[in-house]
Amino acid sequence: MERYLVTAALPYANGPLHLGHIAGAYLPADIFVRFLRLTKHDAVFICGTDEHGVPITLAAEKRAIAPKVFVDEVHAHMEATFAALGISFDNFSGTARPAHYETTIEFFLDLDKKGFLEKKSIVQLYCGSCNRFLPDRYVEGVCPRCSAAGARGDQCEACGSDLDQTELVNPYCKICGAIPVMRETSHWFLKLSDFEGRLREWLESKRVAWKENVVNFCNGLLAKGLPDRAITRDLDWGVPVPLPGAEGKVIYVWFDAPIGYISSTKEWALKKGDAEAWKKYWQDPDTRVVHFIGKDNIVFHSLMWPAVLMGKGGYNLPWHIPANEFLNIEGKKISTSRGFAIWAHEFIESFPADALRYYLAIIAPEAKDADFTFKEFQASYNNELADILGNFINRTITFIEKYYNAVVPPLAGNDAETAAMLARIDETGRTMEQAYAHFQVRRAAGLFMDLCRDANKYFNDKAPWKSRKEDSAACGSALHCCLRIIRALAVYGSPLIPFTCAKVQAMFSDAAPLDWKTADAPLIVGAPVKSPGILFPKIEDAAIAAEAERFQKHDTNVPHT
């Protein structure tokens, strides 16, 4: 069996999680990892909060608290939200921890020693009033492209242009409003051009397996040539640059954040009592490293991060990077700065986590942007989870409890319809296995619900309300088959809707751990079965309307930045 180290992009610790985060990286990653565990692969699922950078210092300054206090609050909030959603990390760390600092400094010094870093003098804006160089998001001005006011030092939101802060017209310090001046400073740059040839060769080996959007995007950048990229900043908050004369400078967040995957794995190893266990996942070439990200992180994970790993040496390069597109809300792009987002922690206070997981799976933004709508969410839950899956399970267990003493009836004979249905279970297992293994979340969810539909048709065709009076043995045999389907559904669906499938698995007296290989195993005749209760109470129109209204208000009390 292959060994896997699976990561999901480190969420930035400047506010709560929204549904775009969940759909783009964390749910697909969790579904894949849960599948790996079901198929008995060695898999470790790693994540943590990205805790450095200017947005965090700005947010902390607004609240007059230390950045570490701020990120610890956000970390705890995110960890609780992930747990409530069933995102099953093996370790959820953070980048403002000593182990991460040590690992990042080790990488920096090693790259510097090998000649992959270069110190350069550059010009940046300096605020005399605040007595500091202004990072990109500390300065605003008029966009030189479209003349819009309020453009940041790195981007104009009005026209979408990438900017250099020195290009801004009439720049001003975002903190105190003073007019900054140009001043020379020095920073360390990663010489990305040194890795262009190796990156081209490596990406070419991924052309068939990886998504076309990832490979094409990276090749486009390589064709233009990779410029050296600064990996340090003039800030107080971050991993300090470990060289003489670098006081007041920290390592840039884009460089230190992916190293958080490694430091989080080290933390996991320490927690399990084997401090060296992380090496098996990062340095043994038999391990497959998989990074789940959104498309905005493609350049960092498929070019810059591999270049860092190549320069360091001895570490596994990413085996796969299943980058997803974006999730929109009611046809509009999510904007946390405007509060235009559905916050995950609020949404699951109103609706079951599995309802959200299932809907985000069936609309997963795998090849193009997806659109979340409240009415479609309600329809997917009521019409599919409740009316198809829930109804099938409820009808089956109701008949068995009422007419077969709540035990598994025997499989008396094997008529053509039952034989076909049993074969259908096995077929679904094989096709869903392929879908999960290839990160095809939408396809897996569709195959799962197709089996639920076929199960309902089989139940209707067998008409136990009629056959029990005419041929009790044949009726019991059909219900036995239905129980086989239910137990298989508990396994096949558990990566998608784990909370529900755990309840379904508990119907059976053996309640053995979920296992892909035994999903279609024969049932023990006469073994007790019990009802899981109503799995999916309908979502009423009033509940959806209330949630949609809360969203439309763009609650300014949400702690976003």
Rounded to an integer, what distance in angstroms lies between the CA atom of residue 329 and that of residue 114?
47
Cβ proximity of 80 and 345 under 8 Å = yes
130 annotated to bind ligand: no
Rounded to an integer, what distance in angstroms lies between the CA atom of residue 240 and that of residue 96?
11
Written as one letter, the residue type at 267 is E
Tokens coding 204: 């070419």
Residues near 376 by beta carbon (within 8 Å), at least 6 away in sequence: 359, 363
For 512-524, b/e burial (b = at least 16 CB within 10 A) is eebebeebbeebe
Rounded to an integer, what distance in angstroms lies between the CA atom of residue 313 and that of residue 297?
23
Rounded to an integer, what distance in angstroms lies between the CA atom of residue 151 and that of residue 167?
10
Tokens coding 473: 């043995």
Tell me the three state secondary structure of residue 122. strand
Longest Cα–Cα distance of the chain, Å, equals 92
Rounded to an integer, what distance in angstroms lies between the CA atom of residue 559 and that of residue 280?
39
Among residues 187, 192, 146, the alpha carbon closest in space to that of 167 is found at 146
143 annotated to bind ligand: yes
Say which residue the tokens 């800030």 belong to: 235
* Separation in Å, CA 322 to CA 209, 258, 284, 382, 440: 10, 16, 22, 30, 10
Cα 206 → chain centroid = 22
Cβ proximity of 14 and 51 under 8 Å = no
Tokens coding 420: 């076909």
What's the N-to-C CA distance of the chain in angstroms? 44
Among residues 117, 174, 178, 124, the alpha carbon closest in space to that of 150 is found at 174
Cβ proximity of 511 and 488 under 8 Å = no
Rounded to an integer, what distance in angstroms lies between the CA atom of residue 13 and that of residue 441?
27
Cα 67 → chain centroid = 25
482 annotated to bind ligand: no
Cβ proximity of 123 and 183 under 8 Å = yes
Q: Count CA atoms within 13 Å of residue 315 on its CB side.
A: 20
Written as one letter, the residue type at 99 is A
Binding-site members for Zn(2+) are 143, 146, 156, 159
Annotated binding-site positions: 143, 146, 156, 159, 336
Binding site feature residues for ATP: 336
